[in-house]
Amino acid sequence: MRKHLLHPAAKPLLFVLCLLPLAWLTYAAATDRLGANPDEALIRATGDWTLRALCVVLAVTPLRVMTASPQLARFRRMLGLFVFFYALLHLMSYSGFDMGFDLGEIARDIAKRPFILVGFLAFCLLVLLAATSCNRAIRALGGRLWQALHRAVYGVAGLAILHFFWMRSGKNDFAEVAVYGAILTALLGWRLWRRMAFRTAPPVGRGKTATPS
């Protein structure tokens, strides 16, 4: 498994897999397979894929630790950029299909509807994370500051779930919200548990303490 993760074709293959949802949505739109309201279907679908990609990104570290496969870390940046990519598609779908790219109407809608506001805040955080995902940004900020900044992904997760919850509250339909909420809670809870475990771990070796990877 580890050998396959280091294969030169692994990243290109993952890239293609991450584009499959876009390929399907493009095909469905071109062949009139999006239902009676294709505009709303595209807005919802791009939002769903943003959440799914976010879950995958946050699952990388737990999987890496639990399977002792540090090679998984090499895919995290690409997956994170695909979260931003699908979030951008979601925003553009909303802006175009719902608002006709009218910036004034978009601004008023953000101010008027809380679920749009929290979704926009989540996107702003994703812009910051995407803009600082390159090696040059890591060198400029320093490893510690860069890591602290990129913990904003936890805020993105919280805002994304709140956005989804408020959006579904109008129809009193929370089944999918509960599923995504449970997944993200488990992934973030694992991180909190591990951090607390390392803080309370007894010293190992000569005066050294265990530190999280």
Give the helix ranges, DSSP H, for 113-202. Answer: 114-131, 135-141, 143-150, 152-169, 175-199
pLDDT in tens, 66-97: 999 999 999 999 999 999 999 999 999 999 99
pLDDT in tens, 114-152: 999 999 999 999 999 999 999 999 999 998 999 999 999
Instruction: Please report the pLDDT score of residue 136 as a whole number.
Output: 93
Instruction: Please report the pLDDT score of residue 30 as a whole number.
Output: 95
pLDDT in tens, 171-180: 788 999 999 9
Measured CA to CA, the distance from residue 111 to residue 89 in angstroms comes to: 21
196-206 residues labelled b (16+ CB within 10 A) or e (exposed) = eeeeeeeeeee
Position with higher pLDDT, 106 vs 195:
106
pTM (predicted TM-score)? 0.90
Instruction: Please report the pLDDT score of residue 204 as a whole number.
Output: 53
Does the pLDDT at position 57 exceed 60?
Answer: yes
Instruction: Please report the pLDDT score of residue 202 as a whole number.
Output: 66
Binned at pLDDT 50, 70 and 90, residue 2 comes out as confident
Does the pLDDT at position 24 exceed 50?
Answer: yes
Does the pLDDT at position 211 exceed 90?
Answer: no
Joined together, the tokens standing for residue 182 give 């449970």
Domain boundaries, the chain: 2-190
Distances (CA, A) of 12 to 9, 73, 114, 133: 5, 15, 39, 19
Please state, rounded to an integer, the average pLDDT across all residues of the chain. Answer: 91
